[in-house]
A and B are shown apart, each in its own frame.
Chain A
C-alpha cells in the first residue's frame, strides 16, 4: 500500500506526536508498505529517508506550549505537490484540527483520509469560530483514530462522529534489548539497597513526583543503599527541594535523556514508579517501562489500570497516597519473586502495544477508509500478513 503520513509538528524538536509518526512509519515499512512522511523541518536538519520536508516551521503557541508548525501559501503548494507526486492509496494525518500541514493536507486531499487525534485538546480556537470549515474538514476525513479513551471522548462529544481507539505503540525490541547503565541497578537485598526510577517532568505537579519524593525520603531513612534514578527536564536544585541534605547523594539525576538512553535508564532500575496524580490520558511511559522489563508501580488512575491490565502487569497504589506508595515499594523491594512475576506478565501484556501489532490495527482502518471511498472491498491478505 502507498501511504502518505502528515506530521504537523517539526522534527527539529522532540515530541510525542513526532515519535509516534516515526515509529508508525517504520512499523508500516517493516510490514512491506511504501510510506512517505511530510513534516516541517529546517533545510539542513538530518531526516530519516522516508521524511519529506515541508520547509521551515514557525513557533506557534498551541495547547499551553509552543509547537513549531508550517502554514501558509508556500506550505499549501508543497503539500499539493507532495500529494500529487505520492499518488497515495491512503492519506493519514495527525492532529488535523491544529492550524498546520495536516489541515492543509485534509483540505487538498481527494481520496481516503484517516486522521489520528492525540491530545484531548484538538480543536483550535480559530476553527471553533468557523463551524462551516470544521464541518468541511470533518466531511473529508473518512475514518478517525484516537490514541486514548480521553482523546476519543473529546472527539465524540465535541466534534461529532465516532473514532476507533488504537493505543500508542511502543517499540518493544528497542527497550527490551537496551544495556543497563554501568553500575546499575546495583544490589537489592532484604532490608537494604534497591533502585527506584522516575522519568518525566518532575516540576510538573500532575506527574506526582512529590508523592514519590515523600515516599523515598521516608523509606531511604530506614533502608540503607536505596537509590533513586531520575531523568527528565528540570534542574537539580528543584529536584533536591524537600530532600534532607544526607539523602541527596542517593538521588542520581540524568537530566533530559535521548530515546536510547531512556531505554537504558528503564533497564537500570528495580522498580519504575509512575506516581501521576492525574491528566495522563494514556500512560506511554508505562508501556515503555513494561517493554524494558522493569517492574512498574503506578498510581491507580483509569488509564494506568487499563494499561497494566487491572494490576496484573504492575502494582497499583491509591493515587497521591505517599504512605501507601512507601509500603508498596518496601514490600516489592524485598520480594524478588513477585517482581519477576510482575515483569513477566508486563512483557506479555505489552505485546498488545508493540508497534507491528498496533500498525496492523492502523492498516485495518486504512483498508476500511479505502473501501468507503472507492467501494473496493479489500482482502485481509492485502493489508499484510497477520
Chain B
C-alpha cells in the first residue's frame, strides 16, 4: 500500500527532525550553562587577584596599588573592565619577586585569572556563534538564556618569561 509508506516516511522524517532539534537545543543549554560557570569562575579569580594585590599594597604601603585594588574589588557593571585594566597596569609597574610569598600570590592569581579569561572568552564566542544559527533563532532556543557577554580586559599575565606566557 503506497499510502502506508508515505505515512511511515513522514513519521520517520518528523522523528529525525525532532531528534535533531532536541539535540541542538541541549547543545544551546549546555553552552549557556558553561558560560555561566565560566563567568562565575572569572569573577572569583578577579576578586582573588584584587585581594592578593591589596595584601601586597598594604605590606608595601603602596597607595596607588591599594587604591587600584580597592576600586577593582568594588567596581560593578561597565566600570569593572576599566578598573581591572587599571589594576593590571599598577601590578605591571610594581616590582614582583617570585621568591617573595606575597608577590608570588599575586603572580599566581594573575596567571589563573589569565586562564579563566581565556576559557571564558572561548566559551562566549562558541555560545554566540551557536545563537546565530538559523535553526536556533527560528525556534528561539536561546530565549531562556541571557545573552553571553565578553569580558574585555587586557591579558593580565605578569610573568615576564615569554615561553610560559598566556594569550
0 or 1 for each of B94-135: is its CB under 8 Å from A? (1 = yes) = 000000000010001001100110111111011001100000
Is the pair B112, A368 in contact by a Cβ cutoff of 8 Å?
A: yes
Whether the pair A380, B108 counts as a contact (CB closer than 8 A) is: yes
A60 to chain B, nearest CB (A): 29
Interface residues of B in 25-70 (CB under 8 A from A): 27, 31, 34, 36-38, 40-41, 44-45
**Does B2 have its Cβ within 8 Å of any Cβ on chain A?**
no
Name, among A160, A162, A352, A369, the residue most crowded by chain B CB atoms within 10 Å (CB to CB).
Answer: A162
Docked pose: A146 CA to B53 CA in angstroms:
29
- The answer to whether A372 and B166 have CB atoms under 8 Å apart is no
Of the candidate stretches A16-24, A32-40, A164-172, A314-322, the one touching chain B is: A164-172
Question: Are the CB atoms of A165 and B165 closer together than 8 Å?
Answer: yes
Interface size on A, residues (CB 8 A): 32
Interface: A66 (CB within 8 A)? no
State which of A144, A306, A361, A371 has its C-beta within 8 Å of the C-beta of B116: A371
B163 interfacial contact with A, CB 8 Å? yes
In the complex, A212 has a CB within 8 A of chain B? no
- Known contacts A142-B119, A365-B115, A368-B115; decide if A164 and B166 are in contact (CB<8 Å): yes
Whether the pair A372, B34 counts as a contact (CB closer than 8 A) is yes
Also in contact, A164 and B118, with CB within 8 A (given A142-B34, A377-B41)? yes
Is B1's CB within 8 Å of the partner chain A? no
**Are B162 and A373 closer than 8 Å at their CB atoms?**
no
B40 and A375 contact, CB distance less than 8 A: yes
Q: Check: A241 CB closer than 8 A to any chain B CB.
A: no
Chain B residues, CB < 8 A from A152 = 167
Contact partners of A165 in chain B: CB under 8 A: 163-167
Q: How far is the CA of A160 from the CA of B126 in the complex (A)?
A: 10
Query: Could you tell me if B27 and A139 are in contact, using CB atoms closer than 8 angstroms?
Result: yes
Q: Interface digits, A136-169 against B, CB 8 Å rule (1 contact, 0 not)?
A: 0011001110000000100000001110111100
- Given A162-B118, A364-B115, A369-B119, CB of A139 within 8 Å of CB of B31: yes
Residues on B with beta carbons closer than 8 Å to the beta carbon of A161: 122, 125-126
Interface residues of A in 359-386 (CB under 8 A from B): 361, 364-365, 367-369, 371-375, 377, 380, 386
* Residues of A close to B44: CB separation below 8 A: 371, 377
Min CB–CB distance B66 → chain A (angstroms): 23
Chain B's closest residue to A372 (CB) is: B38
A352 near B121 (CB under 8 angstroms)?
Answer: no
Closest to A136 in B: B27
Min Cβ gap A172→B in Å is: 15
Asked whether, in the complex, the Cβ of B167 is within 8 Å of the Cβ of A162, the reply is yes
Question: Would you list which residues of chain A between 69 and 86 have a CB under 8 Å from chain B?
Answer: none
B163 engages A162 (CB within 8 Å): no
CB-CB < 8 A to A365: which residues of B? 115
Cross-chain contact A386 with B108 (CB below 8 angstroms): yes
B125 surroundings in chain A (CB, below 8 A):
160-161
The contact sample of 22 A-B pairs, CB cut-off 8 A, is A139-B27, A139-B126, A142-B34, A160-B125, A161-B122, A161-B125, A162-B122, A162-B167, A164-B115, A164-B118, A165-B165, A166-B164, A167-B163, A307-B163, A352-B161, A368-B115, A368-B116, A371-B37, A371-B40, A371-B119, A372-B37, A372-B123
A residues near B (Cβ < 8 Å) are 135, 138-139, 142-144, 152, 160-162, 164-167, 306-307, 352-353, 361, 364-365, 367-369, 371-375, 377, 380, 386
